[in-house]
Amino acid sequence: MRLVKLAAVVAGVALVGLAAAAFLVWSGAKTSTVGELEFANRLAIPPLAEPRIDGDGRKVFDLELRAGETEILPGTTTETWGANGARLAPTLRASRRDEVMPRVANGLGEETTTIHWHGMHLPAAADGGPHQTIAPGETWSPTWTIDQPAATLWYHPHPHPETEDQVYRGLVGMFILDDPEAEALALPDDYGVDDIPLILQDKKFEDDGSLDFSKGPISPTGLLGDEILVNGTHDPHLEVTTERVRLRLLNASGARVYNIGFADDREFDLIATDGGLLEAPRAMDRIQLSAGERAEIVAEFEPGERVVLRSFEPDLGTNFWDGRFAGGDDSFDLLQIRAAGELAPAPEIPKRLATQEPLAESKAAQVRRFELSGQGSIDGRSLELTRIDEVVEVGTTEVWEVSNASGTPHNFHPHDVRFRVLEYAGGPPPAHLEGLKDTVYIPPNETVRVVTEFSDYTDPELPYMFHCHVLQHEDRGMMGQYTVVER
Ligand code: C2O
Ligand code: CU
Ligand code: CU
């Protein structure tokens, strides 16, 4: 009897101990830099690449991928990857109907990579997914004609299963598309002056400045950094000189979700999402972006003021336990905006921005269902590069219904196409998901229905990918392959 009691007491103490340890881990998993930055560094603006025009009239962008060293934290050096420089990659820019040819030279030493044009409508052979590997020393020169509306796209490595690490090293850039209708609008469009790219990446640093690749003890979504770099700049500020400024926000992190707004809760206009301009601007005070998503916002400033762009605690739709370990309780000061004493006037944002291509559910030839399960599979299967999971007929419209069957945050991104959200977690799409998208957050235990059209580019063999853009999940196989074939 005494022994039983003793055992019960010991077990009780052990349980209390475990709970206490769990509580400690949970408490320690919250991160915030709000109020802690000095905004000491001028925000770097990735240079605009200058293409040359080749004999066939193509815009050729030379991109040399290389590793290098950058002083990110004062007095230390960090080994980073970039294109045409040590960190990040230049901003590429092209217009609808331009024929482009990036020439991607792999100067990374030992590492094989790929470069994927995220959000781009293009032939599978040019897509830069895991099948278009670029061996060390090789150059890959895909070519295609831009045929989609003005939008903020981006490019990044996509070798399987190394994407999380390679993106984390900083080899990412924006790919801005223009079109004549968008150019005719009175929107801020002077790159680096009133049209500012903001590439958000979270990092962890060792004391000597090197990147820390370790994941937390409980990490449902992968590495979460406690420092946010904007365009590779730590502790940044931006000087603005106009009354209205367009910010092109890109979440280029592996797992972190940002819920972006201003510290004083001022409203801004959302003018574009992943796939391009909205039909009309939408006033809001927060915009949430999961990994891979973009948004363009226009904000107004008063002469001489300073205001902080912040990431507030995101709404992940998780329980309190999982949410904490997925960054759901984290907040960050991203960037201080300093307005000049005198600001150049800027016109009002137009009431109509774009006419969107009709993407009607009624035209859908079929519905495909996908279930994101665990942390590395879709419909219970992990990626096989030799298995084609879905075959789509060219010229068809389809509804894709994606469910998150786990307690973990996921999102969903198909290559090649833009989609419209039909239904989000049992209701109509919220305001920030009304426009064209190519990546969408899927809360735990919810379903998102989207409609899209597979308008051209057939290839019976080479697939496009669809996957969770939480890069650890993608690397673990939460990815599938689809081909587009002739009818
Ligand atoms: Cu940014 Cu396969 O994607
Ligand atoms: Cu993509
Ligand atoms: Cu996921």
User: Which ligand is closest in space to the CA of residue 132?
Assistant: 1
Residue nearest to atom 3 of ligand 1 (CA): 118
Three-class DSSP category at 66: strand
User: Which ligand is closest in space to the CA of residue 476?
Assistant: 3
Please state the atom number of ligand 1 nearest to the C-alpha of residue 439: 1
pLDDT exceeds 70 at position 153? yes
CB 63 within 8 A of CB 105: yes
Instruction: Decide: 256 in ligand 1 pocket, CB within 6 A.
Output: no
Instruction: Decide: 131 in ligand 1 pocket, CB within 6 A.
Output: no
Domains in the chain: ranges and CATH: 41-179 (2.60.40.420), 195-344 (2.60.40.420), 361-485 (2.60.40.420)
- The per-residue pLDDT for range 420-479, each reduced to its tens digit, is 999 999 999 999 999 999 999 999 999 999 999 999 999 999 999 999 999 999 999 999
Three-class DSSP category at 37: coil
Instruction: Decide: 160 in ligand 1 pocket, CB within 6 A.
Output: no
DSSP at 131: T
Q: Summarize the confidence of residues 386-390 as an average pLDDT.
A: 98
How many A from CA of 415 to the centre of ligand 2?
Answer: 5
For the record, the structure tokens of 429 come out as: 């799409």
* Neighbouring C-alpha atoms within 13 Å toward the C-beta of 385: 12
User: Which ligand is closest in space to the CA of residue 377?
Assistant: 3
How many A from CA of 373 to the centre of ligand 3?
Answer: 8
Instruction: Decide: 465 in ligand 1 pocket, CB within 6 A.
Output: yes
φ, ψ for residue 475, nearest 5 deg:
-65, -30
Residue nearest to atom 1 of ligand 1 (CA): 118
Instruction: Decide: 415 in ligand 1 pocket, CB within 6 A.
Output: yes
- How far apart CA 310 and CA 79 sit, in angstroms, is 27
| pLDDT score of 3 | 65
**pTM above threshold 0.85:** yes
How many A from CA of 302 to the centre of ligand 2?
Answer: 38
Average pLDDT, the chain: 96
How many A from CA of 40 to the centre of ligand 3?
Answer: 35
How many A from CA of 400 to the centre of ligand 3?
Answer: 17
**Minimal CA–CA distance to 342: which of 297, 309, 298, 305?**
305
**Strand-pair partners of 113:** 134
User: Which ligand is closest in space to the CA of residue 157?
Assistant: 1
Three-class DSSP category at 248: strand
CB 303 within 8 A of CB 343: yes
Instruction: Decide: 118 in ligand 1 pocket, CB within 6 A.
Output: yes
pLDDT exceeds 70 at position 81? yes
CB 166 within 8 A of CB 112: no
- How far apart CA 31 and CA 100 sit, in angstroms, is 42
| pLDDT score of 1 | 57
Instruction: Decide: 413 in ligand 1 pocket, CB within 6 A.
Output: yes
| pLDDT score of 14 | 75
Please state the atom number of ligand 1 nearest to the C-alpha of residue 158: 2
How many A from CA of 386 to the centre of ligand 3?
Answer: 22
For the record, the structure tokens of 356 come out as: 């969107």
CB 94 within 8 A of CB 177: yes
Instruction: Decide: 437 in ligand 1 pocket, CB within 6 A.
Output: no
Instruction: Decide: 410 in ligand 1 pocket, CB within 6 A.
Output: no
User: Which ligand is closest in space to the CA of residue 251?
Assistant: 1
Contacts of residue 350, defined as CB under 8 A and 6 or more positions apart, other chains included, come to 185, 186, 187, 281
- The per-residue pLDDT for range 288-321, each reduced to its tens digit, is 999 999 999 999 999 999 999 999 999 999 998 8
How many A from CA of 382 to the centre of ligand 2?
Answer: 18
- How far apart CA 221 and CA 434 sit, in angstroms, is 26
φ, ψ for residue 10, nearest 5 deg:
-60, -45
Contacts of residue 7, defined as CB under 8 A and 6 or more positions apart, other chains included, come to none
- How far apart CA 244 and CA 120 sit, in angstroms, is 28
- The per-residue pLDDT for range 231-259, each reduced to its tens digit, is 999 999 999 999 999 999 999 999 999 99
User: Which ligand is closest in space to the CA of residue 405?
Assistant: 3
Contacts of residue 61, defined as CB under 8 A and 6 or more positions apart, other chains included, come to 49, 51, 90, 92, 100, 101, 102, 103
Query: How many residues does this entry show for the chain?
Result: 487
- The per-residue pLDDT for range 409-424, each reduced to its tens digit, is 999 999 999 999 999 9
CB 155 within 8 A of CB 104: no
Please state the atom number of ligand 1 nearest to the C-alpha of residue 156: 1
How many A from CA of 393 to the centre of ligand 2?
Answer: 20
How many A from CA of 384 to the centre of ligand 3?
Answer: 17
How many A from CA of 300 to the centre of ligand 1?
Answer: 32
Cβ-in-10-Å burial (0-12, 13-18, 19+) of 50 comes to exposed
What is the H or E stretch that residue 284 is in? strand 276-284
